[in-house]
Chains A and B, each alone.
Chain A
Amino acid sequence: MASITLQNLVKKYGDGFPAVNDVSIDIDDGEFIILVGPSGCGKSTLLRMIVGLEDITEGELLIDGERVNDKAPRDRNLAMVFQNYALYPHLTVYENIAFPLRLAKGKHSEEETNKRVQAAAATLELTEHLERKPANLSGGQRQRVAMGRAIVRQADAFLFDEPLSNLDAKLRGQMRSEISQMQRRLGVTSVYVTHDQTEAMTLGDRVAVLKKGILQQIASPRELYEEPTNIFVAGFIGSPSMNFIPGQVENGKLQTVLGELEIPQHKLDKAEGKKIVMVGIRPEFFEDAKLVDEAKKPLGATFTTRLTHTEWLGNEQYGYMDFDPAPEVRDLLNSLAKDLDADELKPQIVVTLDSASRIRAGRDAELWVDTRKVHLFDPETGNSLTRDPEAGAALTQEAIQDRQDEIEAARSEANASGQQAS
């Protein structure tokens, strides 16, 4: 169990390119931190710096308050699951998992080793594969062996580099809850890299969003979702992504391609002095106007539009509409798309509708949008104009409290069952 502190970490590779640039994060003992960001933003590099495989160019890395910049990986006592598994092909699954225990010579009796390997294998559903070689396993099985090698040890912290990326959806869900429970049960500090929105939102106490090696925001999933600091975070978190449309403030209302939107005055005030602002509206802020409660309707704005097509998913449906952005925001949208790892961002608005909605493509449809929730962004800097830092901090504080309660509960439960057993 350990806390990990990153202070202004910088990593420059041989070509001088900063893969990680001035990242500071305080990771509490027992905390579950998620690192997300587009491909190549430095997530793996950051993880490898923590574990000691990559030299730290600048900055300090502390584990439990002790500077470990120059310590060898083996002296940091961290367990890591590699993005590409890194299994020992000449060893059986059993020996792969037992490898870290065997290295700590004399520390573990044969009996204890066996017990631990069997327990890890059972958790990961690998029991019937223990005698096989990695070459004969499927990608998902290999990934689980890599996990097994990490959890079999009593490491001070777990570092995961996209450990579930090769599993099918069902197994991924299963493993996700397995990891989550295990983390709480052991109360072990974890840093977890992922591309997956669901993993990021459900597993982490806090999520750190990276872009080109720079930390954009670190906060609880709810804070990221509700109070993003900038347009990049807003676009990265949430699926489907937030829609960005240009808007102009004119006589107390917001003029957009969706028509005139009436938004709360305190938000409008923030946009004062800007000729043009980016309006961020999540797909789920929209609804089929027919299905909105009459009492709720006045809180948002209703407008008429035509959808180009719809996708019915069972529990909800997505509708799409195109719009033609002004040239001055087109560049912004394109560079945002590049940052977010997409090809050219289509000037398109995605809306989420109730699955009961009868709205179909190509016909005039009346939509309602919850204008209380819209975000406004500065088109030049990309920073949020409407973010409420206090509300955000409160959300993150809540998550921290939740974590402490959960770990407490898990520990007292473990104690109780331990006392029963003895």
Chain B
Amino acid sequence: MRASTRTEKIWWTVITVLVLLYALFPVASIFATSFKTPSDLTSGKFLPTNWTGQNYEQILVGSAQDLFLPALRNSIGITVIATFIAVVLATLCAYAIARLNFPGKKLILTTALAVSIFPVISIVTPLFNLWRNIGLYDTWIGLIIPYLSLTLPISIWTLAAFFRQIPWELEQAAQVDGATSWQAFRKAIVPLAAPGVFTTAIIAFFIAWNDFVYGISLTSTEAARPVPAALAFFTGASQFQSPTGAISAAAIIVTIPIVLLVLFFQRQIVSGLTQGAVKG
């Protein structure tokens, strides 16, 4: 590797700043909006003239609380359960795909891919009818199942690719070193597989957390309605006021878990952890 020159460094900095601006400007804008008073919304300025917490008050303890808090609870519960199931199933499936040779291995992978290329919008109407008939409409399970169809394929693919890279000989090395089969798995394989599982979990969580179409179509009350759908039901204090400020505040709040999740697991998602185990 050669050291990069000064001009190169400057260019990289410029590009990085541009990309960051492009990606973060909307977030910053929503953040600013969430602190604006309703009258301030149309002021055309980026920053609020008066910083106010009234939007947060409104959704957390005020008039919109009945809409937002149950939705937040639904979102967290449904997403966590869906992610958990997806990761467990995908781990087992990917393990089999990576380690065993069985007929139909290809079929599983292609089916998973085929499932994920169906546009959500084309399934949602039949699903709506079916769910109403069998009583899954407006329930947690009624959302968890479609979320699994979104998260499972990508989880299986990511994990299978990840597991294929694990040097499974390490298990044998550990056994020769005096480990039982279980110890060998836990001490030599799990530490290498964990980052892949965490990465997959985060991806699955994002997908379920951000879903809007299923959330709005398959729910009708606060029994199961997740946040992205609930935002659509926000109203202003009067019908002439737009609820933009409250929606922004809610958007900021639902972003927090994602940021926390990434920060928390960042150390786990280190790539290249399997390097150096075996030759070549």
Contacts and interface: CB of A to CB of B under 8 A. Distances in A.
Contacts of A134: 275-277
A278 interface: no
A87 B175 contact: no
Interface string A64-97: 0000000011100111101111111110000000
A82 B173 contact: yes
A79 to B, nearest CB: 7
B169 interface: yes
Contacts of A270: none
A100 B177 contact: yes
A82 B188 CA distance: 15
Nearest to A86: B173
A146 to B, nearest CB: 9
B176 interface: yes
A99 interface: yes
Given A90-B191, A90-B273, A53 B175 contact: yes
A74 B272 contact: no
Given A84-B169, A103-B183, A135-B272, A89 B277 contact: yes
A142 interface: yes
A169 interface: no
A192 B5 CA distance: 51
A40 to B, nearest CB: 17
Interface in B156-197: 167, 169-170, 172-181, 183, 187-188, 191-192
A78 B175 contact: no
A77 B173 CA distance: 13
Interface residues of B, number: 27
A135 B276 CA distance: 4
Contacts, number: 90
A133 interface: yes
Interface string A117-139: 00000000000000001111101
A87 to B, nearest CB: 5
Contact of B273 (A53, A78, A89): A89
A100 B175 CA distance: 9
A73 B175 contact: yes
B183 A85 contact: no
Contacts of B170: 86-88
A86 B277 contact: yes
B172 A85 contact: no
B15 to A, nearest CB: 29
A277 interface: no
B278 interface: yes
A243 interface: no
A421 interface: no
A281 B280 CA distance: 39
Contacts of A100: 177-178
Interface centre among A78, A85, A86, A137 (most CB of B within 10 A): A86
Interface string B129-155: 000000000000000000000000000
A51 interface: yes
B274 interface: yes
Given A82-B173, A88-B170, A103 B178 contact: yes
Contacts of A51: 176
Contacts of B183: 103
Given A136-B276, A142-B276, A166-B279, A86 B180 contact: no
Nearest to A80: B176
Nearest to B188: A88
Contacts of B187: 88, 99, 103
Contacts of B180: 72, 74
A3 to B, nearest CB: 19
A81 to B, nearest CB: 10
A74 B179 contact: yes
Contacts of A99: 174, 177, 187
A79 B176 contact: yes
Contacts of A313: none
A7 B28 CA distance: 75
Given A82-B173, A135-B272, A137-B276, A89 B178 contact: no
A149 interface: yes
A104 interface: yes
Interface in A138-172: 139, 142, 149, 153, 166
A104 B273 contact: no
A89 B177 contact: no
A137 B187 CA distance: 21
B176 A53 contact: yes
A82 B276 contact: no
7 contacts: A51-B176, A53-B176, A74-B180, A89-B276, A99-B174, A100-B178, A136-B276
Top 6 A-B residue pairs of the complex, sorted by shortest distance between their CB atoms: A135-B276, A134-B276, A86-B173, A135-B275, A84-B279, A100-B177
Given A80-B173, A90-B192, A166-B279, 15 more contacts: A51-B176, A53-B175, A72-B180, A72-B181, A83-B279, A84-B169, A86-B167, A86-B169, A87-B277, A87-B278, A88-B187, A89-B277, A99-B177, A134-B276, A153-B178
Interface of B: 167, 169-170, 172-181, 183, 187-188, 191-192, 272-280
Interface of A: 51-53, 72-74, 77-80, 82-90, 99-100, 103-104, 133-137, 139, 142, 149, 153, 166
